[in-house]
Structure 1
C-alpha cells in the first residue's frame, strides 16, 4: 500500500512540474532562421527560439537525427552486441560502496554519428551509486561504431539500450 501511495505521489509531482515548462516564442519562425551568432566568452552561440546551440551544424552535412525504425542499416558496435557488452563489463568500474548491483539495469541513450562516434550520451535511468556517471565514462571510451545508413548514405542515429550490470 505504501508503494502505491509513493508511486501516486511521484506521478503527481512529475505532472505538476512538467506543466507549462515549454517556452512559447512570440517570434515568427521566419525571423529566427537567419540569426547571426552571438559571441560570448569567445564562443559562437546560435539561438533557435528557446534552444541554445554552441556550434552551428556544418552547412553541407545532413544534421538530421533518425531513429532506428527510419533507417536501412542500424548502427552496430564493432563485433556486435556480444562484444559491446563484454567491452562494458571489462571497462565498468564499480564504486567502493560494496553494494550488490548485479542484475540492475541502466538505460542509456546516445547518438551514433556519421563517423561512428557516440555523442549526446544521456542516462535515462540508472541503478544509483554513480552508475550513470560511470556508464557515460565507459560509453565515451567506446570505440567507433559502424554508423547507420539510409538510402546508401551514412546518417546520425538516436540509439537507446539497456545495460545490465554483472
Structure 2
C-alpha cells in the first residue's frame, strides 16, 4: 500500500514538472496579411503605375512588390502586419507603416519648384553698350529659395556639387551676352524653369520670361553644360524643379 501511494505521488510530481515546462516553452508565430490600397495625388486623382514595395521577402528572397492600376489601386499578398509600405513615382516617394491595416489610402506629395536666386550675391550678365538709350531706373527684387519638406521619411532638396554659389559662378562665367541683343539695346530679366531628375540630370526646360534675341537660349545652353546635380531625396531619389532668374544689363 505504501509503495502504491509513493508511486502515485511520483507520478503527480512528474506530471506537474512536465506541465510547468510546457507552459514555459510556448512558441509564438506572426501571421501574414493581404494588403489593399489606393494611391492618389494632392487633388485626389488616382496615381497609376506607381511602384509599391513591401519589406517582406518572397520565396526567392525578393521584396514583395506591385504597381498601381489605372484607378490607383494595388494589392500585396502575404505581407507582415509590422511592415512599412513604400510607394514611388517619377516625381516623389512616400513611406507608411501598415500597423496591421488591411487597406491604405496613400497621398503622393511632390516636390514643388524652388527658386535658385537665394544668395544676395546674385549676378548680372553684362556687356558694353554700343548705342545710347534713355535712362531708366530698374528695381530688381531679390528672391529666396524655399525648401519644401515631405511629411514622410528623410527629405533633402537637390543640390549642385559644391553648393549653389558654385552654380552661380559657372553660369556667370560662361554666359555670353548675344550680339543681336546688344545691337538692339535689349536688357531685362530671363527666367528659366528646369527639372533635376532622380539621377541628377537636367530636363524639361521652360522659358518663363525672355527678352528675345537668343538670351534665354544662351542661359539654357550654359545650364545644360554645367555639372550633374545631387538629386533630391524623399525616402528615395526623386525629381525636383527649379526656377532661375538672370538679369541681362547693358552698361555705359
When normalised by structure 2's length, the TM-score is 0.38
Matched residue, 2:238: 155
Q: How well do the aligned residues superpose, as a CA RMSD in angstroms?
A: 2.9
Larger Rg: 2
Aligned counterparts, 1:60-99, within 5 A: 62-64=89-91, 66-67=111-112, 68-71=147-150, 72-97=155-180, 98-99=182-183
Aligned residue for 1:121, secondary structure, equals strand
Q: 2:198 aligns with which of 114, 127, 133?
A: 114
Greater share of residues in strand? 2
Runs of 4+ residues deviating >4 angstroms = 99-102
Larger relative contact order (C-alpha < 8 A, sep ≥ 6)? 1
Greater share of residues in helix? 1
State the Cα distance separating 1:138 from its structure 2 match: 1.2
Gaps of 5+ in 1: 1-28, 35-60
CA contact (8 A) 1:147 1:154 kept: yes
When normalised by structure 1's length, the TM-score is 0.55
How far, CA to CA, are the matches of 1:165 and 1:79 in structure 2?
A: 25
How far, CA to CA, are the matches of 1:158 and 1:81 in structure 2?
A: 15
Length, aligned pairs only = 110
State the Cα distance separating 1:80 from its structure 2 match: 1.4
